Amino acid sequence: MQNRSQTNREKLAEKQSSGALLDRRNRIELTLFTAFEINTNPSGAAFWLMPLAALITAVILGVGSSIWWLRLNNSDKSEKPKLVNKFYSPTAGAIVRNSIGIELVFVPPGTYVMGSSEEEITKAVAEVAKYQPDVQRDRFAHEAPPQKISIADGFWVGKYEVTQAQWRALMQENPSYFKECGANCPVEQISWSDAQAFIKKLNEERDGLEYFLPSEAEWEYAARANTTTTFAYGDGLNSEQANFDGNFPYNSVKGNYIGRTTTVGSYQPNAFGLYDMHGNVWEWTRDVYNASYQNLSTEDAENITAGNPNLLVLRGGSWYNSSSNCRSAFRQKLIFTSRSNHIGFRVAARAK
C-alpha cells in the first residue's frame, strides 16, 4: 500500500514536471511572434499597423532588389576603367593610352605668339613665288596680326592623328579613301560634323577625360612646341621631314611626292612628342573661321562665335599640298560638312 502511494506521487510529480516544461516551452515559442500575432483581440491601432508594417517591409525589399539588379546589369556600362589618377598632376610629355588605343601626350601650359609677323608673311610669299609667280600676299593676311596667347591650363593631345583602326573600333565602319594604306594610317574623308560625332561617342566611354577638337590656339601651340620658327623643325621643310608634295619644298630641296597618306608616326616628332603636325592630313579645329586675329582673346583664344558659323578652321596641311600650307601658322577654312581624302583630325582632352 505504501509502495502504491509512493508510485502515484512519483507519477504526479512527473506529470507536473512535464506540464511545467511544456508551459516554459510554450512561453519561449510565443516570444518568437509579434504582439499582434499573439493578441487574439487587437485594438484598432494595432489592427491597422499590421498591413502597414507589411507594406513598408515589401517596399524596402523591392527597392533593395531593384538597386541590386540595376548595379548588376549596368556594371559594364557605368564602371569604365578610369585613367583619372594619372591626370591630376601630369608632367610635360606624359603619355596615356585610352580604351581604343589613342595615345595622348600632356602638353604643359605656357605662352607663345600665334600667327605670322609681316616679315614671316613676306618670306612665305617669296617661297611660294618660286613655283607660283602670281601668288598674292592676301593669301596669308588672315595669319595676322600676331597675338601673344596664354595657354593657362595644360591639356592632352593625340600623339598621332586618329587612325582608321581607332575610327572603326568606335564607329564600326571606315570611310577612308586610302583603306589600302592600312589600319594605322589616318582616317580621312572626315567632316567637322563627323569628327564631333566621334568625340561625342568617345566621351560616352567615361574614362576620366573630356575629349574635344583643339582650338586653333591650342593646335598651333602644340604644333610649334616652344619654337618660333616657320616649322617645328626650323625654317625649312622637305619630304624627308613630312608627308606633303615634295616637289614644292620650303627653303629646302625637292623630294618625293607619295601622293597618299602614310602610316602615322612615319616622320620625326616635334619637341612635344607629337607626330604629323605638318602634312599627312588636314586637321579640324573647333574654331569658327575669322579673317583676322585683330580682336582675338589672349586667354586660350578660342573663337566659336565671331565669323561665319558654317566655316571651320583646319590646320597642318596634307599629303596633297605644298610645304607652305604645312607651316605652323597656316590656316585653311572649309564648310563644316566638307569631306576629302586629305582631311582628318586629332583629338585633345582635359581631365573632368
Q: Where are the domains of the chain?
A: 2-78, 86-351
Q: With CA atoms as reference, report the closest residue to 84 among 192, 183, 207, 167.
A: 207
d(Cα 213, Cα 67) in Å, to the nearest integer? 37
HSE value, Cβ hemisphere, 13 Å, CA-based, for 17: 6
Is residue 127 within 8 Å of residue 322, measured between CB atoms?
Answer: no
The pLDDT profile of the chain, 352 residues, written as one tens digit per residue, is 444 444 444 444 454 444 444 444 444 333 333 333 334 444 555 445 555 555 565 555 554 555 444 444 544 444 455 665 554 678 899 999 999 999 999 999 999 999 999 999 999 999 999 999 999 999 999 999 999 999 999 999 999 999 999 999 999 999 999 999 999 999 999 999 999 999 999 999 999 999 999 999 999 999 999 999 999 999 999 999 999 999 999 999 999 999 999 999 999 999 999 999 999 999 999 999 999 988 777 776 677 767 889 999 999 999 999 999 999 999 999 999 999 999 999 999 999 8
Domain made up of 86-351: CATH architecture: Alpha-Beta Complex (3.90)
